[in-house]
Amino acid sequence: MNEPDPAVIRAAAKGDQAAFSELVRLYQEPVWRFLTRYTGDQHLAEDLAQETFLKLHRRLGSYKFRSKFSTWVFSIARNSAIDSHRSATRRERLPDVAPRPAPLGEPGLGAELDEAIASLSPKLRESLLLVEVLGLRYREVAEVLELPIGTVKSRVFHARSDLTSFLVGDTATTSDAGDDRGLLGGVS
């Protein structure tokens, strides 16, 4: 993923709307794709992407250039999704809440793959999506998720194994899976 020019980031932090618009254009689709796959709900992902960019706009002055800008943006997006999930969980505890509609599959992707990804635990799903869908390196994913790199590698391995098992209809667990290449290929 291309990183924006630091001058653009600084200009946006100082209130330059054209510079901020450039940042939004650069990250809008990748953030939406990540959130769509993370939540399984395109409409929720749109809302969360919008929330991500609002937070980004408010916090831009606090970006310290210690990590890649994309890592910082995806951390904000991930935290927005987590906050949304917590909120939804609280609402679901209330009586007489109508069930949420089933998420729609992303156009062009098999419903079976969407179902397989949705079946992963949130921890495995977020690691897999950041590596395989967004193309971040393990080190960058470790920064986004604030985890050791070994944990990220392990989660991606287990996610690939679980996806393979799900798609081939195998009941084996990830500990039974001997093929570390998984469904989506070798280690990135």
Domains defined along the chain, listed by start: 1-104 (1.10.1740.10), 105-188 (1.10.10.10)
Asked if the model's pLDDT at residue 171 lies above 70, the reply is: no
Cα–Cα distances in Å, from 24 out to 7, 29, 49, 107? 15, 9, 10, 23
Task: Please return the burial class of 78, using the count of CB atoms within 10 Å of its CB with bins 0-12, 13-18 and 19+.
Answer: buried
Asked if the model's pLDDT at residue 95 lies above 50, the reply is: no
Asked if the model's pLDDT at residue 174 lies above 90, the reply is: no
Higher pLDDT, 35 or 175: 35
Where does the pLDDT of residue 91 fall: very low under 50, low under 70, confident under 90, or very high at 90 and above? low
The pTM score is 0.56
CA 168 to CA 181: how far, in whole Å?
A: 15
**24-38, 89-103, 138-152: least confident range:** 89-103
CA 53 to CA 94: how far, in whole Å?
A: 30
